[in-house]
Structure 1
Amino acid sequence: MTPLAALSVYRWGSRTAADYFCPVCGILPFRKPSAPTARERAEGVRPFEGWAVNTRCLEGFDPSAVPVRRIHGSALVAERPG
């Protein structure tokens, strides 16, 4: 298991999200999701304060046993940082 301090961090787009990945094998075990855009905030979307976890990295956990929320990336609207 790789400790958090040894993981690499990648930031993209608005630079408010952080993807943590192993610099040796490349797996992304978790990420800190991005902040809502101005449009999303205006629509009432609240910031997500938690972490997104790649459950495929957890021993003894069956990812198919939990509900899935699908996100269509092609429908997302990018906002340039101001």
Structure 2
Amino acid sequence: MKTYKGSCHCNAVQFEIDSDFPELTTCDCSICVKKNALMVKVHENFMRIVTGEENLSTYQFHTNTAEHYFCKTCGIYPFHRKRVTPDYYGVNVFCLEGFNSEGIPVRATVGAAMK
């Protein structure tokens, strides 16, 4: 596994993940479609908020189980805590430094039909 550094746009929130990127995912739920994020699933043991945790705002909807995190300053969505697997984060790979998604399979997940 390799360590990647990530941040929001203004760098107030900085984090690190360890991943070998077996796949990336998209989601068809109402919030994921609007934010158009490409995500990697990372267990909480392989994700660290380095700075700016106090600068994160949380948005919840529907069952209020998943936690979608946004930077209070720039509004960027770096990650969310998953509803079905709450010990995992969905990390927005567009927030990772020097990350290239070329060649990594992308799987579409179904979020809109979840009850």
Please report the TM-score for the alignment, with normalisation by the length of structure 1: 0.67
2:100 — aligned with what? 62
Q: Which has the larger radius of gyration?
A: 1
Q: Measure how far apart 1:56 and its partner are.
A: 0.4
- Percent of aligned pairs with the same amino acid: 36
Superposed CA RMSD: 1.7
Higher strand share: 2
User: How far apart are the structure 2 equivalents of 1:60 and 1:49?
Assistant: 26
Aligned residues: 66
How many angstroms does 1:77 deviate by? 3.4
Per the alignment, do residues 17 and 62 of structure 1 end up closer, same or farther by CA in structure 2, a change over 3 Å counting? same
Q: Which amino acid in 2 is paired with 1:18?
A: E
Moved over 3 A (4+): none
Which structure 2 segments of 5+ residues have no match? 1-10, 14-51
Identify, as 1 or 2, the structure richer in helix. Answer: 1
Are positions 1:26 and 2:72 aligned together? Answer: no
TM-score for both structures, normalised by structure 2: 0.50
Where structure 1 has 5 or more consecutive residues not aligned to the other structure, the ranges are 36-46
